[in-house]
Amino acid sequence: MLASGSAAAPFSSASVRPVHDEFHGDLLEVSMGPHHPSTHGVFRMMVTLDGETIVRLKPVFGYLHRNHEKLGENTTYLGSMPYTDRLDYLCSMTNNWAYALAVEKLAGLVPPERAEYIRIILAELTRLINHSGLIGFLMQDTGCSGTPLMYAFREREKVLDLFEALSGSRMMCNYQRFGGCRVDLTPAWVDSARRLVDAFPRFLDEFEALLTGNEIFMARTQGVGRLSPELAVNAGLTGPVLRATGVGHDLRKVDAYGLYPRFDFRVPIGAHGDTYDRYMIRVLEMRESVQILQQALRDLPAGPIMDPKAKLRGLRPKAGEAYGRIEGAKGEIGFFLISDGSPNPYRYRIRPPSFINLTVLEDLCLGHTVADAVIILGSIDIVLGEVDR
Amino acid sequence: MLGSGIIKGLAVTAKNLAGSFHDPARYVTQEFPEVQPQLPENSRNFPFLVADDGADPMGTLRCVACQICEKECPPQCIYIEKSKDKKPDAAGKLQLYPAVFAIDTSVCMSCQICVEVCPFDAIKMDQVFAIATTDRFNGLLLNREQLAKSNQYYHSIHPTEATEVDARLAAERKAAEEKARAAAAAKAAAPKPAAPPPPQPPA
Amino acid sequence: MPPAPIFATLDPDRAFLERAPLLVRDFVTGLFPPSLQWLAGNLLAVVVIVLFFASLFALLTLAERKILGRIQNRPGPNRTGPAGLLQPLADAVKTLVKEDIVPRAADQVLHFLAPVVLVSLALMAFAVLPYGRHLVPVELDAAVLYFFAAGAATELAVFMAGWASRNKYSLLAAMRALAQLISYELPLLLSVVPVVMLAGTLSTTGIVAAQAGWTYGVIPHWHVLTPWGAAGFLLFFVSALAESNRSPFDLPEAESELIAGHLTEYSGFKYALFFMAEYFGMTALCGMGVTLFLGGWQAPCAFLEFIPSYAWFFAKLLLLLGVFMWIRGTLPRLRIDQLTRFAWKFLVPLALINLGTAAFWQLSAGWSGPALQLARWLVALALVAGPFTLLGRRLSAGVAPRTYRYAA
């Protein structure tokens, strides 16, 4: 039986209590997951239902735990780079960048200008495929028989082809290096990237025609999973989930890392913090990413792609600590490293955006139905590889 | 009006239904076994060992069993045993060679770090992706003989990179020969008990 | 008797193709002694219906997967046989040889009965559809009533399945199925009432006969081409989507929320039976929609009458089924409370108003002259569009596309 009222979430804003009277029977406990079609991997939601209304939700994760941080402390700095691909396996390029940034701070390396441009191009391409894929999955949770997902994947394939042509691998790119990038862009690559970027707004228009004005989609998402800006800030949320609540916090503007200050782009923010806002913010961010990409591909400078001081093997940074963070597609992805002067980091810590964004799941879901919980989870955008590490 | 968004959506799917019959930008499916994928040059899968002469791969492996890749491999899937004797390499210099060189492809994560750290350009990434086998232990543990592939093969999968590597190796060889010749000339000019030349640092 | 021409000359009733099914029937029943001919005739109809719709089901599963695939820019199943045509066969073999798992805690009897009941009820609905000029398996005076009674009972089998599985997802699905049944049976029936009212009969043959004839030989007198008929058809169509548990109303099955809903604990051939029943229900409802609103087996133009009537019926049927699939490939799913609200606050009032529109249309049938005809059309259109707009605005209050700001 349910211990009613107990185990309120740490940031609980909603207070939905189970009611016991003649109209409300017993509560029903359902274990959604770890094998459930809509938990985006092996994730489990212990939900307590009154009818179909959720009165309690306990996220259970860790099924995909693989000791990532300890592995990082036992491999060299370079050896951890391919492992970062496997955190959020949809965004390996941004994971690489965040980790490279942390090590570069630690070792005092400065990537040359061209490398910074390449990093921005790849990060924004990653944002495009992550956001469009996420929207596809969200629609899958909403009950579209796969159509938006297949459209998103169709475009993702084209970006992955670019990634493969550059880095050799479609998803596990392992492309960034401390002090620069591994392989240089060829003019042919830049041309095909430009074609892709120019064609992308057409895809977005079609995608929006399919979804944005759809009455059923609006009814399913507007007002569902409302998140207040206070709770979002207090819970440490980042990324589109935070910006959907109206907080204009984007590390590309706040930290101004890389060469982002050179680029002209805006940060869309929502007003309601509900699922529809989270969807729309992602669509608008994709449009901004297209702007950034067009500028970057236009202004791409010539030059080296590696810091001449950088060496591949035997990196032994001076003792100290560094935190490198960037605005990944899901939020702030950060790597915290402590060096004791040995070839391995003394401490290797990841700030995974989807894990921290997941902490508000219960607050978002209380009072909504099972059907809503599924799309709220979908709109948070989690990847279990990153949540469980 | 209620329903306009739904009608717009129906129009989009109808457009895609029609488009998938005539528009290659929409219908991107390649039917795999019939249509083989055109892999980009940089595409990588699992490592292989480069042998200079395809006719005698075991005798002409570039690998000198320095074990750097074994140490750097993040998932530690490479196992090397050094040879007891030495064989002349392509430049005629006596080198060790790997008596055992095994890669467990069930552990390998195709990260390419072994390729990047190898100072002898001896290990490169292959593009063969149809690697299914019925034996999941021994079938995926590749030994020296299975790993060795010729330089021509390397040229066929990564032409640009292989040409660069060949040019670099040729330049190094030439430099080494000139140095040796200079050393020999110096030796001839001044017959002294010469100290053994310091080992060449890997370029 | 002179041999009938292959194509119709003056009397389509006499055309060879039109009469071909009857000739086959007469031949087969002629093999039996006269006292058993009525039985043989009926059994023949049953066998033909079961075989025909079972093979149509097989083709529909393939067609649905192909169409969905093409909508999603995929080829769809294409490995089994030429262009994947043998895929249904492979699916049948697969479901037949799969292990049939019954949960230990399940109600064994009901768990077994549910798919059987479902399929038999779904099949019963086919008895009264007029497939062609001479092709009505059972001539029933209350055919429409019978049809919807059989259709409504299928939902009971869904509840049986959900309850008997003793699975929480199945139970939730069963509750949803009941809520959906109660909500959508009403607009479905109410959207049919005007047709019955104007045709003055509950017999499906009579309703098809009421839509016979053409104006100028090209504009058919189908109900869907009148204002009330168009509105009624849309209401019927939406309710039929819900009634047959199809997207966007596939809540009992909601695979992203309830795994597979009432089908969660079914495997092997029982699962296939459920699947079959879903397609049977969908086909039967489409057939009823064709009969009630799209003129049944009537040809759209007078000069196209040489094509036999059953061909027209099935062409229209397949068209409607195609729209079902198209909708499935496009729309997300509603939530259960939105679904019931949509039924009670939107479809039911509209269906009631449509009854009035139909009454007006019938009363004004005698209006003659272009001015009066125009007035008749305008009034009827206003009666349809006005409530639709007003109720639609109320229904979608608070739900609208938004505009967004950008951070400074």
The CA–CA distances, whole Å, from A114 to A110, A121, A259, A288, A302 equal 12, 11, 10, 21, 6
Q: How many domains does the structure of chain B reveal? A: 1
Do the chains contact at A213 and B4, CB–CB below 8 Å? yes
Q: Is residue A138, in this structure, part of any structural domain at all?
A: yes
The structure's pTM equals 0.85
Structure tokens at A206: 């079609």
Partner A contacted by C172 (CB < 8 A): yes
Q: How far is B32 from chain C (nearest CA, A)?
A: 11
Do the chains contact at B40 and A161, CB–CB below 8 Å? yes
Assign residue A108 a region (left: φ > 0; alpha: ψ between -120 and 50; beta: otherwise). Answer: left
Query: If you search the block for the tokens 């029933």, which residue do you land on?
Result: C140
ipTM of the complex: 0.83
DSSP classification of residue C346: I
Q: Which residues have C-beta within 8 Å of that of residue C388, sequence separation ≥ 6?
A: B2, C231, C350
Structure tokens at A369: 């139905």
CB A15 within 8 A of CB A238: no
Do the chains contact at A209 and B117, CB–CB below 8 Å? no
Q: Is residue B92, in this structure, part of any structural domain at all?
A: yes
- Cβ neighbours around B7 below 10 Å, total: 12
Of C193, C121, C113, C112, the C-alpha closest to C155 is C121
CB A11 within 8 A of CB A235: yes
CB B44 within 8 A of CB B127: yes
pLDDT tens digits for chain A (389 residues)?
333 433 444 444 444 455 555 556 678 888 887 888 777 778 888 888 887 888 888 888 888 888 888 888 888 888 888 999 888 888 889 999 999 999 998 888 888 989 999 999 999 999 999 999 999 888 888 888 888 999 999 889 899 999 999 988 888 888 888 888 888 888 999 999 999 999 999 999 988 888 888 888 888 888 888 889 999 999 989 989 999 998 888 888 888 888 888 888 889 998 888 899 999 999 999 999 999 999 999 888 888 888 888 887 878 888 889 998 999 889 899 999 999 888 889 999 999 998 898 888 888 888 888 888 888 988 888 888 888 88
Facing A267 at nearest CB: one of C338, C402, C406: C406
Facing B40 at nearest CB: one of A86, A165, A174: A165
Q: Which residues of chain C have pLDDT under 50?
A: 1-9
Q: Is residue B80, in this structure, part of any structural domain at all?
A: yes
Question: 3-class SS at A52?
Answer: coil
Q: How far is A165 from chain B (nearest CA, A)?
A: 5
Q: Is residue A39, in this structure, part of any structural domain at all?
A: no
d(CA C163, CA C160): 5
Do the chains contact at C399 and A219, CB–CB below 8 Å? yes
Confidence at residue A1, expressed as pLDDT on a 0 to 100 scale: 36
- C245-283 pLDDT per residue, tens: 887 888 877 777 788 888 888 888 888 888 888 898 889
> What values do phi and psi take at B48, rounded to 5?
-140, 165
Q: Is residue A101, in this structure, part of any structural domain at all?
A: yes
> Which own/partner pairs from B36-41 qualify as long-range (CB within 8 Å, at least 24 positions apart)?
B39/A164, B39/B127, B40/A161, B40/A164, B40/A165, B41/A165, B41/B157, B41/B158, B41/B159, B41/B160, B41/B161
CB C202 within 8 A of CB C138: no
Q: Give the CATH number of the domain where residue B77 resides.
A: 3.30.70.3270
Structure tokens at C6: 């292959």
Q: How far is B13 from chain A (nearest CA, A)?
A: 8
- B77-132 pLDDT per residue, tens: 999 888 888 777 766 677 788 888 899 988 998 888 889 888 888 898 888 888 88
| Domain locations in chain C as residue ranges | 98-363
Do the chains contact at A169 and B74, CB–CB below 8 Å? no
Q: Give the CATH number of the domain where residue A318 resides.
A: 1.10.645.10
Q: Is residue A48, in this structure, part of any structural domain at all?
A: no
- C139-178 pLDDT per residue, tens: 888 888 888 888 888 888 888 888 888 888 888 888 888 8
> What values do phi and psi take at C129, rounded to 5?
-80, 135
Q: Is residue A38, in this structure, part of any structural domain at all?
A: no
Q: Is residue A17, in this structure, part of any structural domain at all?
A: no
Q: Is residue B142, in this structure, part of any structural domain at all?
A: yes
Q: Is residue B195, in this structure, part of any structural domain at all?
A: no
Q: How far is B66 from chain A (nearest CA, A)?
A: 14
Do the chains contact at B29 and C75, CB–CB below 8 Å? yes
Q: How far is B61 from chain A (nearest CA, A)?
A: 23
Do the chains contact at B8 and A213, CB–CB below 8 Å? yes
Structure tokens at C124: 């019963």
Which of B72, B76, B108, B124 to mutate: most A Cβ within 10 Å?
Answer: B72
Domain that holds residue A232: 68-388
Do the chains contact at C337 and A223, CB–CB below 8 Å? no
